[in-house]
Amino acid sequence: MRQRRWWWPLDTPGHGTGTGSVIVSRRAGHLAGTAPLATAVPIRTVKSVVQVFDGDVAKAIEYARQIGCHVVSMSLGGIGFFPGLGEVILRAVQDGLIVMAAAGNYVGFVTAPASLPGCLAVAATNVRDLPWSGSSRGPEVDISAPGESVWAASVNWREEPPTYSLSRHSGTSFAVAHLAGVAALWLAHHGRDALIARYGKERLQQLFLQLLRTSGHRVPPGWNDSQFGAGIVDALALVRAGLPAPSAVRGLRAAAAPRRAFDPFQRIRALTPELDEDELRARLVGLLGGTNRTLGRKLERFGAEVAYLLAEDPPFRSAFVAARPKGVAAAAVSPDRGAMVPASRSFVREVMRG
């Protein structure tokens, strides 16, 4: 995506350039990626790191499988509405791909697709080997990797032609990029074809995860493995780790159950503990329009954006939580739509038009 759309608050142009540079940059003296000799296959399917349309992401994973990619790194996340996304991930894993995604930023839960069965969930740490303060956390996280103040490529679209530079970035997007490069190194070190011949395609990702959990990480003092995974990935330890017997590795079952239900209302409720359920429903109806009966359908379309704005846009959150009833219509608590987002990028206006 060349430019950020002024009317859409979630656009993130250049994000793929930045995260991709963490994986495969190879120009000496400028920026060295985790796996500098790997081949990057950019697949642009969404324009925002806040994943809204899961079906588009599912198509991208399926395309990566069909063209023969070996590692899928997803620096995006959402609430996870589309059940087919999990099925596509499992199919890719069964076909020998290693699939991973960012755990999420600032939202208090592990976002989809990272939270889905078959997808490795990666949280972020800093240079002191402490969890990055903005990283999502929870039992779904498999491993952590550096994600705070990471040097990466940046694009300045305001100049013509665009200019490129290096700058520091933070987020689980960069943590998963680190792990993707480590996965590529591991495959190259052992030989992907040799690993498949010994273990089978369907067990390749489980083998990688098993080694991450047993040998391929380090555990800083005070580490909380129930929230940030087994530890911080250690590339050298991983490639030096001996391979287990094939009988010791079990493949991921295709019929695995979801780790957690994806109810958009409950996710938004977790972000607004000061509101009870009825107050939250009234505010959402006031924001999105319709009635309580149609709220579920509205949240299927716009729940990810609402959750993102509640976590990332303090003025929006303040206006949403502090809203008071307008008029007497069903005692609805209707936020002041105009105060939520600046008019120049009013997500609310787009919702009400749509």
Burial state string for 120-133 with b = 16 or more CB within 10 A and e = fewer than 16 = bbbbbbbeebebbe
Specify the CATH number for the domain of residue 238. Answer: 3.40.50.200
pLDDT, residue 14, reads: 66
Residue 328 lies in a domain: yes
Is residue 46 included in any domain, yes or no?
Answer: yes
Closest CA to 184 of 62, 68, 34: 34
> Which structure tokens are listed for 161?
């032609």
Asked if 69 and 98 sit in the same domain, the reply is yes
The residues, any chain, with a CB within 8 Å of residue 165's CB and separated by 6 or more, are 153, 154, 156
In terms of domains, do 59 and 113 share one?
Answer: yes
**Is 20 within the bounds of a domain?**
yes
State the Cα–Cα distance between residues 85 and 2, nearest whole angstrom: 27
pTM: 0.72
For position 47, what pLDDT does the model report? 54
Q: Both 63 and 204 in a single domain?
A: yes
The parent domain of residue 133 ranges over 15-248
Residues 349 and 279 placed together within one structural domain of the fold? yes
Residues 149 and 296 placed together within one structural domain of the fold:
no
User: Can you tell me the distance from the alpha carbon of 238 to that of 77, in angstroms, rounded to the nearest whole number?
Assistant: 27
Residue 315 CA to its chain's centroid (Å): 24
* pLDDT confidence of residue 352: 32
272 plus 243 within the same structural domain: no
Q: Is residue 3 part of a domain?
A: no
**Same-domain check for residues 198 and 282:** no
Work out the burial of residue 31: count CB atoms within 10 Å of its CB; fewer than 13 is exposed, 13-18 middle, 19 or more buried. Answer: middle
Q: Looking at the structure, do residues 219 and 271 belong to the same domain, yes or no?
A: no
Residue 7 domain-assigned?
Answer: no
Are both 145 and 58 inside the same structural domain?
Answer: yes
Residue 258 covered by a domain:
no
Residue-by-residue pLDDT tens, the chain, 354 positions: 344 433 333 445 567 788 988 998 877 657 888 999 999 898 877 654 444 445 678 888 999 999 999 999 998 887 665 568 888 999 999 999 999 999 998 877 888 899 998 999 999 999 999 999 999 999 999 999 999 999 988 877 777 887 777 889 999 999 999 999 999 999 999 999 999 999 999 999 999 999 999 999 999 999 999 999 999 999 999 999 999 999 999 876 543 434 444 577 877 887 788 888 999 999 999 888 889 899 988 887 777 678 767 765 678 878 888 875 443 333 333 333 333 333 223 333 333 333
Residue 9 lies in a domain: no
**Total domains present in the chain:** 2
122, 138 in Cβ contact below 8 A?
A: no
Gap between the Cα atoms of 74 and 114, Å rounded: 9
- On whether both 290 and 145 belong to a single domain, the answer is no
Across-strand partners of 143? 122
- Asked if residue 309 and residue 197 are part of one domain, the reply reads no
Residue 13 C-alpha from the chain's centroid:
16
DSSP assignment of 153-204: EEEETTSSS-EEEEEEE-SHHHHHHHHHHHHHHHHHHH-HHHHHHHH-GGGH
Tokens 């591991």 label which residue? 186
**Residue 296, CA distances (Å) to 122, 128, 175, 253, 268 in order:** 30, 43, 33, 31, 12
Domain-embedded: residue 287: yes
Give kind and range of the element (H or E) at residue 36.
none
Which among 248, 280, 301 is the end of a domain?
A: 248
Other beta carbons within 10 angstroms of residue 237's beta carbon come to: 15
Considering the domain architecture, whether residues 130 and 201 belong to the same structural domain is answered as yes
What is the rounded end-to-end Cα distance, in angstroms, of the chain? 23
Upper half-sphere CA count for residue 171 (Cβ side, 13 Å): 23
Coil, helix or strand for 23?
helix
